[in-house]
Chains A and B, each alone.
Chain A
């Protein structure tokens, strides 16, 4: 039976510490934004989770391509891990955005280009798991998953770029803001510290969760193989 590697145990502890520090920086260290008040503090986790969410979808697309070339099931496992962890983080991004929008835009949701592409991206990957479950043959499932994540992966850069390409009310904190954007702000040096630390912390947490999900995938494969053997 595989035991948890020491490096993973260390990564678990480091991830928890980083999450704690990031929360402290966001809630207490960064100054209160003058126009929006405390709700602006959700921005640090909003961006942190969005970063790893979209990164994971791109990683899954790359893993899908490598699977199609090599036919090595480890890449399929990696793709599933990346999609699952990213779907969870991206869900947090969308919920935090909605919570921020209520006082900033006076609505929980609006069909703005950014919000729409983000919602579509999340739905694409929820559907990914539903469709995968419907395929019994592991190789067929992996092939389907690879092609699906390859096409779905296009939604990640689109979601990122949409506020830079179209007229939108979603603020662009880094780069040139849209003329219609509402709720934008300039970051002070302390805000930047909290912001970049959150990006770093969520990247480490993402790696930690991917590792856990990979171990789970390996176990799933073993069980599936044994089930096939015993049923023969």
Chain B
């Protein structure tokens, strides 16, 4: 028996691409957020260090 029509597996394809983009998006966002948090920490620590130097 031969397959006459191509099976509809588009739902799986959409799910696959959606997960790929969501995962890459979350990772890119995590890099951005962590970078911003560290920049803020650095500013605070530099200000603290300056303060202790003055004392």
A residues apposed to B, CB below 8 Å: 1, 23, 27, 32-42, 45-46, 49, 85, 88, 91-92, 95-96, 99-100, 102-103, 205, 209, 212-213, 215-216, 219-220, 222-223, 226-227, 229-230
Enumerate 28 A-B pairs (CB-CB under 8 Å) in ascending A order.
A1-B39, A37-B7, A38-B10, A38-B12, A39-B9, A39-B10, A40-B9, A41-B16, A42-B16, A42-B17, A45-B17, A85-B27, A88-B23, A88-B27, A92-B19, A95-B19, A95-B23, A102-B12, A212-B35, A216-B34, A219-B35, A222-B42, A223-B38, A226-B42, A226-B45, A226-B46, A230-B48, A230-B49
Task: Across the interface, name the chain A residue whose C-beta is closest to B32.
Answer: A212
Supply 9 further A-B pairs (C-beta < 8 A) apart from A38-B10, A222-B42.
A39-B16, A91-B23, A92-B19, A92-B23, A95-B19, A205-B24, A209-B28, A219-B42, A223-B42
- The secondary-structure label for the interface of chain B is helix
Question: Ordered nearest first, which 9 A-B pairs have the shortest CB separation?
Answer: A39-B9, A42-B16, A37-B9, A226-B45, A38-B13, A39-B12, A38-B10, A219-B38, A99-B16
Q: CA separation between A46 and B4, bound complex, in Å? A: 28
B6 within 8 A of A: yes
CB contact list, B14-36 vs A, under 8 A: 15-17, 19-20, 23-24, 27-28, 31, 34-35
